[in-house]
Amino acid sequence: MIGLRQLAASICATLVAFSWMGSEVHAAQCGSGPGGFENWKRTFSEEARAQGVGPTAVSALMQTNYATATINADRSLRSFKLSLEQFMVKRGSAAIVARGRSLKQKNAALFASIQQRYGVPPGPLIAIWGMETGFGSQRGNQNMLSSIATLAYDCRRPAYFTDQLYAALKLIDRGVLSAAQRGSMHGEIGQTQFLPKTLLEYGSGNLDVAANALSSTANFLKAHGWRAGAGYQPGEPNFAAIEAWNAAQVYEKAIAIMGRQIDG
């Protein structure tokens, strides 16, 4: 769920965060490599305790490692710069649509229940599911907390990922997630790849279970203005909810196209 406009917004937030940190002598300072990560963890842990984060989550944070693979992936986000046609070919849109149609039929009762509750038809949900994880086959194998902590420490977007880190720590304190939770490079988890803050606000149940992830995704879309029965192509009312899910324009358009093809 990382998108280009989200990154731009987070950079602005980072500038504000830097101005704030200048007045806080003991605030955790960002870094651009692994050298300062251990010191940053100690300082951030003190701040987290002061914010009410419990010992279980603080202990989990102190056990995280600098995630070099996450930083390398963060520096090489190239697919969103492709044309729409190139992006859809690279992401295997034809295969997603073909399998998506089959899954729609096989799980008709589930999708009918979700649509009745949230007003979201199967097409865009299935398109997101296929795009994000290949229908659950590619959920990532990185330690979620190490990825999020590394990105919160990294100077590129610390404000954005500090929010994600606090959400992850809350989820660990509540027992929703464990310190061993695996995820993708930026800490996304589950069948449709929720970041911790999105999971905290819109998730329900174990998101490694497809039914829970799809329901939670529909809940997110409804919360961002999805209107039952309205269209979701560019220029139509529900396209804004897809934009909220991922701000990369090629991704949004691809979801709309694949969703329409799946819905038939």
Q: Would you say 192 and 183 are in contact if contact means Cβ atoms under 8 Å apart?
A: no
Dihedral Cα 163, 169, 171, 174, nearest 10 deg: -140
Q: Do 69 and 89 fall within a single domain?
A: no
111 part of a folded domain? yes
Shared-domain flag, residues 15 and 70: yes
Structure tokens at 47: 């701040």
Is 67 contained in some domain?
A: yes
Query: Is the four-CA dihedral 25, 26, 32, 33 of positive or negative sign?
Result: positive
- Per the structure, how many domains does the chain have? 2
Domain check: are 171 and 146 in the same one? yes
Token pair of 24 as six digits: 């806080």
For residue 88, give the CATH number of its domain: 1.10.530.10
Collapsing DSSP to helix, strand or coil, 81 comes out as helix
Confidence check: pLDDT of 16 > 80: no
Q: What angle do CA 163, 76, 69 make, to 5 degrees?
A: 70
Percentage of the residues of the chain whose pLDDT score is greater than 90: 86
pLDDT surpassing 50 at residue 24:
no
Q: Are residues 67 and 12 in the same domain?
A: yes
Judge whether 221 lies within some domain: yes
Per-residue pLDDT, 17: 45
Q: Which CA distances in Å does 74 have to 27, 68, 147, 151?
A: 24, 10, 10, 9
* CB count in 10 Å sphere of residue 160: 23
pLDDT(259) > 90: yes
Distance CA 247, CA 243 (A): 5
Do residues 53 and 95 both lie within one domain? Answer: no
Residues 9 and 131 placed together within one structural domain of the fold: no
What confidence tens digit (pLDDT) does each residue in 78-129 have?
A: 767 899 999 999 999 999 999 999 999 999 999 999 999 999 999 999 999 9
In a domain, 194, yes or no: no
DSSP 84-95: HHHHHHHTTHHH
CB-based contact 93:18 (threshold 8 Å):
no
| Same domain (yes/no): 8, 135 | no
Q: Are residues 158 and 17 in contact, defined by beta-carbon separation less than 8 angstroms?
A: yes
Is residue 163 located within the same domain as residue 71? Answer: yes
What is the average pLDDT across 44-58? 97
Residue finishing a domain among 161, 187, 213? 187
Kindly calculate the radius of gyration of the chain based on its CA atoms and give it in whole angstroms: 19
Query: Domain range holding 177?
Result: 4-75+142-187
- Is 25's pLDDT higher than 50? no
Q: Which of 19-23, 200-204, 245-249 has the lowest mean pLDDT?
A: 19-23
Pair type for strands 142-143 and 182-183 = antiparallel
| Residue whose tokens read 């279980």 | 56
Residue 193 is assigned to a structural domain of this protein: no
Among residues 157, 187, 217, which one ends one of the domains? 187
Q: For a pLDDT cut of 70, what percent of the chain falls above it?
A: 89
The 8-class DSSP code of residue 154 comes to B
3-state secondary structure (DSSP) of residue 194: strand
Determine, yes or no, domain membership for 195: no
Residue at a domain's end among 187, 215, 250? 187
Question: Is 130 found in the same domain as 24?
Answer: no
Residues 215 and 90 in one domain: yes
172's CB contacts (< 8 A; 6+ apart) are: 56, 57, 60, 145, 178, 179
Q: Are residues 165 and 117 in the same domain?
A: no
* 129/149 same-domain check: no
